[in-house]
Amino acid sequence: MDYQFKKFEDRNIKSENRITLTKSYSIGLPNKFYQDNEIKSFMYAVLYWDEKNQAIGIHFTSEKEKAGFKIIRGQKYGGQIVIRSFLKSNNINPEVYYGRYEWEKHNLEGAETLFVIKLQEHNK
């Protein structure tokens, strides 16, 4: 029999492909999401808010711009974006909306790709 084993080395690494909104005013980018979407090639995230649909759009970019939030890279845990000012400015309480969110890709005018999460109250 011809086996083709691959050593499993992802012990204690989140293999979650969802985006997380934390109670500590951050967006978490778990390792699987981070790797699958090649986030390591970006340095900043520009955020968009759709109040009517209660949705956050995230555009990853390497270009520094005034509205961009720095992506904090973890050694083996993906990345994180501290978004306190965004949440406070849009009256989004992370204590109410924290959790893991499935995401969708959408294109914005100007060909920017957004990763969109639709917020839901945590108890629902």
pTM (two decimals) = 0.84
Could you report the per-residue pLDDT of 88-120, keeping only the tens digit for each? 999 999 999 999 999 999 998 876 899 999 999
- Give strand pairing partners of 55: 50, 118
Please say whether the beta carbons of 21 and 98 come within 8 A: yes
The residue behind tokens 């949440």 is: 87
DSSP state of 114: E
Could you report the per-residue pLDDT of 38-73, keeping only the tens digit for each? 999 999 999 999 999 999 999 999 988 888 999 999
Query: Using a CB cutoff of 8 Å and minimum separation of 24, what contacts does 86-89 make?
Result: 86/47, 86/49, 87/25
